[in-house]
Amino acid sequence: MQKRGIKKEAGCSWTQVKNRVHSFVAGGGFEFRNSAEYRKMWNELSEAMKKIGYVPGTSVVLHDVNEETKAMWVCGHSERLATIFALINTTSGMPIRITKNLRVCIDCHSWIKVVSRVTGRMIVLRDTNRFHHFKEGVCSCKDYCVFLRILLCLVSALSCPSCVEGHANE
């Protein structure tokens, strides 16, 4: 990609809270991520999600790094930052609306489903392809986007056998 001068677009998400649009970039938001509010909400969610069996899916990280680093990178995706921000700054019955400039990754889709279940909140995520309405742990797309990506990966299995192994546990 570098030789051709092609740059990958950074994942970015937006949410509106109190008539103000807040934007988040994947891997960014260090000031927010280091805040006491963020850490408290993240830890509460992580504990509740572990109890019902959620574990970050690191197969979406294609870099050759250890599992802990992969999990950290996945947890820094922009839609997660926007969701945590909205959970902190909105009242409990209010739906959360997020817009994303790219397609939501498989793990973030699963993560938001579990967050909607744990918090009892309706979360609407608009990615480049569709609106995802998450409510009580279920998405309106009926996991079509997850199914489609796994299917595409299986079709290309001849050239990428490690990819099939990565999705076998999903």
Nearest Cα to Cα of residue 25 among 41, 39, 37, 8: 8
Arithmetic mean of pLDDT, 146-152: 61
Q: Is residue 156 part of a domain?
A: no
The percent of residues in the chain predicted with pLDDT above 70, rounded, is 72
SS3 163: helix
Q: What does the alpha-carbon distance between residue 94 and residue 160 come to, in Å, rounded to a whole number?
A: 43
Q: Is residue 17 part of a domain?
A: yes
User: Is the per-residue pLDDT at 159 higher than 60?
Assistant: no
- DSSP element (H, E) containing 106: helix 106-119
The answer to whether the CB of 20 falls within 8 A of the CB of 70 is: no
User: Is the per-residue pLDDT at 133 higher than 60?
Assistant: yes
The answer to whether the CB of 126 falls within 8 A of the CB of 79 is: no
Q: Is residue 168 part of a domain?
A: no
Count structural domains, the chain: 1
Residue 125 tokens read as 């995520």
**Whole-number average pLDDT of the chain:** 81
Q: Tens of pLDDT along 16-55?
A: 999 999 999 987 777 888 899 989 998 899 899 889 888 7
User: Is the per-residue pLDDT at 167 higher than 90?
Assistant: no
pLDDT of the residue at 33: 82
The residue segments making up the domain with residue 127 are 12-141
Q: What does the alpha-carbon distance between residue 83 and residue 88 come to, in Å, rounded to a whole number?
A: 9
SS3 22: strand
- The confidence band for 144, taking pLDDT boundaries of 50, 70 and 90, is confident
Q: Is residue 1 part of a domain?
A: no
User: Is the per-residue pLDDT at 60 higher than 70?
Assistant: no
- DSSP element (H, E) containing 117: helix 106-119
Q: Is residue 62 part of a domain?
A: yes
SS (H, E, C) 39-103: HHHHHHHHHHHHHCCCCCCHHHCCCCCCHHHHHHHHCCCHHHHHHHHHHHHCCCCCCEEEEECCC
Q: Is residue 6 part of a domain?
A: no
Arithmetic mean of pLDDT, 95-113: 92
Q: Is residue 26 part of a domain?
A: yes
User: Is the per-residue pLDDT at 162 higher than 70?
Assistant: no
Q: Is residue 80 part of a domain?
A: yes
